[in-house]
Every structure is written in structure tokens, then in C-alpha cells.
Structure 1
């Protein structure tokens, strides 16, 4: 079960904006056995329409439509790149370029289903990034994606050699423990083994900016979850 309940950031008659906790599926998977955010919303609201999605491990801001017209309008806005999408991610290492645009086409790996790769036959994918803070072994980076390819940020960061921390598909998948960057780390007396601070892909959908059917402009932000905040606090103390 998901430990943290999804937080409603905003809702009106046409759409609902949620801060999705990590570990929760956005929409039902093929088997449909697991709880998903869409299912939870359907239980509360009845009919709900998927506009876009976040990976299970990714936390943050996601929008669902409440009626077919809004669904069509917002889906089109996402498709036509009329929505500004910002993410925060903790990546491995120190990036030589502090600000850059990555333009590399993405497609699914024909051998490993569910894994995406950079390939010339792929769909165009554009990611802007800007380094926010550096901690030696890790960096906090803000991303703006101009396209919405599956696993886009994760694939692009692997491509430039700085995958997101704890990313099982595109990085080493190793949970981050304080001992990995704090010198002379000692377990407390009641601890038998060290628990990781972050044990999922370190990516958070931070902000969405879009205009609705009436031409009203919205700018939403979602607070970073506890696990990423805890890691950043420790990195700031120990870097």
C-alpha cells in the first residue's frame, strides 16, 4: 500500500491537480491488480480522464480531467507542447555543463520491453536542465521537458552519463545511505543495519504551467516528498 495519501493541490469542475506520492501507479497497469491514482480518484469522483502520467517511482504534480471536453483540450495542450513542465532530480556526479539542452530521440528497446533507448528511429525528445546545487557525488538538477516521452529525463540523464540516483532501469539502482557520503558514519545503538534515505528513483514533478479552455492561466507547484528532502538535508550538511 502507498504510505502517503495523494494530496489535492487544486480542483474545479473541470480538472483536478494532485501531488502524487512515490510508489503509486498513475493509472492501472495491464494486470490491473494494483491500486492506482486514477482508481482512487474514480472511487471518489466517478468518471475521471487521464491527461498525462508519471512513472510509479516519480513523485509530484499530475492532472486529471473531469469531463471529456477538458480531457481533449488538456491532452492536446500537452501534445502540442503548450504546457510548461518542470522537474527536480538528484543525479549522480557533477555535471560539466551547468545548463544545457539535451536533444536525443527516444524509442522502446526492441529486446527489453519497457526499457527506452536513444535511437535515431525514435521520437524527438528535448530536455533542458540547469544544475541547482552540487554535492560532489550527487547534484540537484532542475529539468524542463518540451516533449513527453516515456522515461524521458531518466533516459537523457543516462545518455549523458549522470543517471538519476536509485534508478533501477537507467542507473545502478542502489539505495542511497548516509554512510555512502558521510565520513565516520556510525549506526545508532538501536539500529541493526543502516536504512537508506532514498530508495527510489530521485525524480519529482515540481511544477506545471498551462492555460485552460477559458484562457485562464494556472501555475501549480508540488512540494518535494520527505525522502528527497531528507537526502538533500544530509547532503547539504555533509558536502
Structure 2
């Protein structure tokens, strides 16, 4: 249409013409072509999920600005090379997520959070304020807070944030170089015919349904080491070590092995969306993250306080997932 990039937070040293508002950083959009018809028409066509009336109201109150902070009007020209800034807004009220995150660690560079199930890491789709990033920005007043990796909304566990732009690149590079050690746990069906631990590899790609992944023939591009912690009847408790970070890698790998994760609505078959069942969270947990600190060389490890929830008739009460 007319854009190629947008972001929820500006580059570290770039001028940002709008401040963080109620924990929400402004988004921006680069325009890659010059178009007739004015800014209102462009925005309505570029973002069809937002009504033209809503865009008109935002423009009328000066809520959309150019790179210098000058408010744009409905008839403002659309020119290639422009960067426009705006706040993401939802037209319908958000559904509250009734689970609370905790902060495991904070220093002058990092904030490490323990994310509950159902809470998105960053604003996306129908979620804005009910996200881990915005909740933490509001609570701690850290305008430069940004995650340096992410967890699926359905997955609980450890997420690392940077709040110091000067050191952010050093920590981001750890994930790019794959020197961060991640440990997950899952409750899933039994895997038969394997000696534990073992390594599972496959080639993954986005499926026709954009929100899931699939395995295809070809050179593997995903790898997971799988350990068995214990087995109880029709369920088993696994420790998972992903050596790559493909979308839904652990969920797809276990499903491909005939052991889908308990309460997984996507794998092996994506079920029709019926809304969240807060009584049946996906039993996948980012248990721990460890790494050698790029600034000090110190070995650091952060571990989730959550626990997976065995069905009541399969395991003892003290193993149930705590959201306290």
C-alpha cells in the first residue's frame, strides 16, 4: 500500500515527537510512496480494521504527527519518505487478564519478569494495556523498556527486558548469536519408542494459516533436546532445551512426536477460536534463562516461580500453577 515499517518504540537515539502515554509508547510508520487523497484516506486504507471515523477523530484532535511533531490533518499530503507518529488505540474495551506478573530482577540495564499465561508480551491485535510491556512501563516508569526476546501469549515464564538504550545492543546480540541458554518445561502426552534425552530436528515454516507453523521436507532448521522428568499415566513432564527459536517450535515438535502439550489449541490441529479458558492454560513454561553477561562476564541465571498444573487426579496439589 504505502508503508514498510512501523514500531512500538523509537530507535535509542532518535527524536520521538510524542511521549509515552499511560505506559504506551508511540508507534511510527514510514511512507514509501507519494499518494493523492490526503492522510485520512491513506490511513483508512492502510489500516482497514480501524474505522475511517476513528482516524478522523484522531487527526482532528492532533493525535497523529509528523517527524517534527507537527499535527497532521485529514487533507495533509502523503509523501514518500515521511515518518508519521501515532498512538495505538483500541476501539473496543480490553478484556482484563486476571493473572499478575512478577519482577524477578532489576538492575541498571535489565528488568527480568515472570510472565503469566494469557498475557501478551507486547501490544498486538486486541491487546494494548493488558500486555506485559505496558503493565511494567506503568508500574516502574521506564520509558525505554523493551523486551529483548518474547514469549507466546499462551506461554508463561521468564522474559528479559532492557531499559538502558546504551547497553541494549550488547544484550540483544546474545540472542542473535544464540549464546543464551533457555530451559522450558511442558506437560504433554507420552513419547513412545525413544530413549531420553534425545534431540529432535525438523524443517519448519509458516503454515497457510499464518498464526501456526508446520513441518516440511528439507534440511532441518529447528532443533530441540527433550528430557523426561517423570511420567504419570497418560501425561509426562518434559524438560526442553531449544537450540533454535522458530515460532511455536516446542509446541510443534512435541505434537509431531505424537505428544501435544496439554491444553494446546493450535497443535496438532488449530481449533476454532472460542476465547480464553482461564481454567485451562497451555502447560508450557519458560523455566529458566542463563547467559554470560556481555558487560561483566558474570554467569547469570533467572528462573520462573511458576509451576505447571498437573490435572488434580494426576499430581499433588503443591505442583499446581501459582499466579501469586
**Length-normalised TM-score, structure 1:** 0.81
User: In the aligned structure 2, how far is the partner of 1:144 from the partner of 1:116?
Assistant: 19
- Structure 2 segments unaligned to the other structure (5+ residues): 1-95, 272-276, 317-324
Instruction: Give the match for residue 205 of structure 1.
Output: 286
Distance 1:127 1:198, change over 3 A: farther
Q: Which moved more, 1:80-89 or 1:210-219?
A: 210-219
Q: CA deviation at 1:215?
A: 1.3
Instruction: Give the match for residue 198 of structure 2.
Output: 100
**Maintained 8 Å contact 2:191/2:258:** no
Instruction: Give the match for residue 183 of structure 1.
Output: none
User: In the aligned structure 2, how far is the partner of 1:47 from the partner of 1:123?
Assistant: 37
Name the structure, 1 or 2, with higher relative contact order (CA <8 Å, separation 6+): 1
Distance 1:41 1:82, change over 3 A: same
SS in 2 for 1:106: strand
Distance 1:116 1:122, change over 3 A: farther
Alignment of 1:134-213 (within 5 A): 134-171=231-268, 199-212=280-293, 213=295
User: In the aligned structure 2, how far is the partner of 1:76 from the partner of 1:29?
Assistant: 24
Does structure 1 residue 117 correspond to structure 2 residue 209? no
Instruction: Give the match for residue 61 of structure 1.
Output: 158
User: In the aligned structure 1, how far is the partner of 2:173 from the partner of 2:126?
Assistant: 28
Instruction: Give the match for residue 25 of structure 1.
Output: 120
Task: Kindly report structure 1 stretches of 4+ aligned residues shifted beyond 3 Å.
Answer: 30-34, 120-123, 171-174
Instruction: Give the match for residue 300 of structure 2.
Output: 218
User: In the aligned structure 2, how far is the partner of 1:48 from the partner of 1:82?
Assistant: 22
Q: CA deviation at 1:200?
A: 2.0
**Maintained 8 Å contact 1:50/1:71:** no
Instruction: Give the match for residue 40 of structure 1.
Output: 135
- Structure 1 segments unaligned to the other structure (5+ residues): 175-195
Q: What's the CA shift string for 1:64-123, capped at 9, x where partnerless?
A: 1112243222221112110110001001134432321111122111x2111101124687
User: In the aligned structure 2, how far is the partner of 1:123 from the partner of 1:12?
Assistant: 38
**Maintained 8 Å contact 1:207/1:219:** yes
User: In the aligned structure 2, how far is the partner of 1:145 from the partner of 1:50?
Assistant: 19
Q: What's the CA shift string for 1:46-70, capped at 9, x where partnerless?
A: 2112211111111111101112243
Q: CA deviation at 1:166?
A: 0.8
Q: CA deviation at 1:234?
A: 3.7
Q: CA deviation at 1:42?
A: 2.0
**Maintained 8 Å contact 1:94/1:138:** no
The number of residue pairs the alignment matches comes to 212
**Maintained 8 Å contact 1:166/1:172:** no
User: In the aligned structure 1, how far is the partner of 2:129 from the partner of 2:211?
Assistant: 18
Q: Which moved more, 1:91-100 or 1:116-125?
A: 116-125
User: In the aligned structure 2, how far is the partner of 1:156 from the partner of 1:149?
Assistant: 11
